[in-house]
C-alpha cells in the first residue's frame, strides 16, 4: 500500500488528523499502530475516513456533514468526501469542523 506523500501527510495532519488523538480515541488502533504514525495515518486515509472515525479534536465528520446541507446534497453518505472537502476548501472557507 502506498504511503501518503509528505505534502499530503502534512495537509491531513494540519486539518483533520493528529496521531496521538487518533490512537488514544480508539483502543483497536492503539493496539495496532502504537508508535507508528505512518501506519496510523495510512489507516485513517484508507479506512478511518470511510468509517467516520475522528482523528483530531477540531474536526468531527458527522457534525460537519450534519451542519451543511449543500455538502449533504453533494456527498450524501460518502464520509470520505466530507473530509476531502474540508481539507481542500471547507477549512479555507471558514466552515466549522465540529
In 3D space, the residue among 86, 93, 66 whose CA is nearest the CA of residue 12 turns out to be: 86
pTM of the entire structure?
0.86
Q: What is the mean pLDDT of residues 68-94?
A: 96
How high is the pLDDT of residue 10? 73
Q: Are 64 and 95 in contact (CB under 8 A)?
A: yes
**Distance (Å, rounded) from C-alpha 72 to C-alpha 62?**
11
pLDDT at 5: 55
Q: Quick one: average pLDDT of 70-97?
A: 96
- The answer, yes or no, to whether residue 61 has pLDDT greater than 80, is yes
Amino acid at each position: 500500500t502506498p504511503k501518503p506523500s509528505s505534502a499530503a501527510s502534512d495537509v491531513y495532519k494540519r486539518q483533520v488528523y493528529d496521531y496521538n488523538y487518533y490512537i488514544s480515541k480508539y483502543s483497536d488502533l492503539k493496539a495496532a499502530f502504537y508508535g507508528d504514525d505512518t501506519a496510523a495515518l495510512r489507516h485513517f486515509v484508507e479506512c478511518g475516513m470511510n468509517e467516520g472515525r475522528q482523528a483530531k479534536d477540531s474536526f468531527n465528520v458527522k457534525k460537519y456533514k450534519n451542519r451543511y446541507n449543500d455538502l449533504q446534497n453533494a456527498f450524501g453518505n460518502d464520509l470520505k468526501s466530507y473530509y476531502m472537502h474540508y481539507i481542500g476548501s471547507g477549512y479555507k472557507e471558514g466552515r466549522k469542523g465540529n
